[in-house]
């Protein structure tokens, strides 16, 4: 089982690199120069790929792709009257900079950490779990532990915080925190992650907690879109491509999880009915 999980992990990593639009378009453009046959065919393919690249970099295609995911997250967002725990997903630190500086170097998802501070204050009795190791298997990088120390340095009671450092992806986040949220039935847990990532993450947690009757509440952070469609060119090529990469990764992950039976539907955007407190 561990072997096949490792194979799946590295296969998805490799496909993620190749299929990311920013990588795929450049790779296809490079391959055009090696296409055998007529020059007219090469020129035609090259022109078409350049057109796609310009469209993806100059138009807010990434925003349009992320928008359904973030709208879904906004629909799912809710907070319970009583919380029994908070799970904060990793992916907010720059691995190389953090390892080199030996301190937390936050990236574009730092809002997850800020959200944790808010929730720690709103639910003073709820434990907080940071889950995340190294996305690439770096033995010197343990994101969950680094975030735990950062939270403690900002005054969060150390007795409330714990770190899970083995997870390398969302499936690992669920797998290695499952014992905590299924320890007692019918509990309320908050999930903190980026808005575009929330539909995929929440669906996996809900599937894992179904037998224990665990209720999960979405707390999406770091929205990347305005929440509405806009046709307005924007001179931010790297930003546009980055958003498109994130969106493609999420849709691919949702599809794979559904095909493998890990979730019950492709993307559920209706929050479960509120449970009455016992």
Domain membership of residue 183 (yes or no) is yes
C-alpha to C-alpha distance for 4 and 20, rounded to whole angstroms? 24
Domain membership of residue 190 (yes or no) is yes
Domain membership of residue 99 (yes or no) is yes
Label residue 7 by pLDDT band (50, 70, 90): confident
Provide the 8-state DSSP code for 197: G
13: helix, strand or coil: helix
What does the pLDDT read at residue 205? 97
Domain membership of residue 25 (yes or no) is no
277, pLDDT greater than 70: no
Domain membership of residue 213 (yes or no) is yes
Tokens of 225: 């879109």
Domain membership of residue 274 (yes or no) is no
What does the pLDDT read at residue 278? 37
The arithmetic mean of pLDDT across residues 25-51, rounded, is 81
C-alpha to C-alpha distance for 240 and 203, rounded to whole angstroms? 27
Contact between 115 and 219 (Cβ < 8 Å): yes
What does the pLDDT read at residue 91? 93
Q: Read off the CATH number of the domain in which 89 is found.
A: 3.40.50.620
13, 17, 19, 22 alpha-carbon torsion, rounded to 10°: 150
Per the model's pLDDT, the better-predicted residue between 102 and 192 turns out to be: 192
Domain membership of residue 217 (yes or no) is yes
The pTM score is: 0.91
The string over 73-82, giving b where at least 16 C-beta atoms fall within 10 Å of a residue's C-beta and e elsewhere, is: bebbeeebee
What does the pLDDT read at residue 5? 66
User: What ranges in the chain are assigned the alpha helix state H?
Assistant: 2-19, 21-32, 39-58, 61-76, 95-101, 111-122, 143-153, 170-181, 198-209, 237-259
Residue-wise pLDDT for 147-169, tens only, equals 999 999 999 999 999 999 999 99
Provide the domain count of the chain: 1
Domain membership of residue 262 (yes or no) is no
204 is in which domain, residue-wise? 79-222
């Amino acid at each position: 089982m561990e072997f096949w999980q490792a194979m799946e992990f590295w296969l998805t990593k490799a496909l993620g690199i190749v299929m990311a639009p920013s990588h795929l378009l450049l790779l296809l453009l490079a391959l055009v120069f090696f296409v055998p046959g007529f020059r007219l065919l090469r020129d035609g393919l090259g022109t078409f790929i350049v057109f796609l690249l310009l469209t993806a970099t100059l138009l807010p295609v990434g925003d349009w792709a992320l928008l359904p995911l973030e709208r879904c997250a906004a629909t799912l967002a809710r907070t319970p009257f009583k919380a029994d725990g908070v799970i904060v997903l990793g992916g907010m630190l720059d691995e190389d900079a953090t390892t080199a500086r030996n301190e937390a170097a936050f990236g574009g998802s730092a809002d997850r950490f800020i959200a944790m501070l808010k929730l720690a204050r709103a639910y003073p009795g709820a434990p907080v779990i940071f889950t995340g190791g190294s996305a690439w298997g770096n033995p010197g990088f343990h994101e969950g532990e680094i975030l735990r120390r950062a939270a403690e340095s900002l005054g969060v009671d150390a007795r409330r915080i714990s770190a899970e450092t083995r997870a390398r992806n969302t499936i690992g986040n669920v797998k290695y925190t499952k014992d905590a949220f299924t320890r007692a039935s019918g509990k309320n847990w908050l999930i903190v992650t980026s808005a575009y990532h929330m539909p995929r993450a929440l669906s996996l947690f809900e599937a894992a907690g179904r037998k224990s009757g665990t209720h999960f509440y979405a707390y999406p952070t770091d929205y990347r879109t305005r929440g509405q469609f806009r046709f307005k060119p924007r001179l931010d090529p790297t930003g546009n491509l980055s958003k498109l990469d994130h969106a493609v990764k999420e849709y691919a992950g949702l599809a794979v999880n559904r095909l493998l039976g890990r979730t019950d539907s492709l993307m559920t955007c209706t929050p479960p009915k509120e449970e009455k407190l016992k």
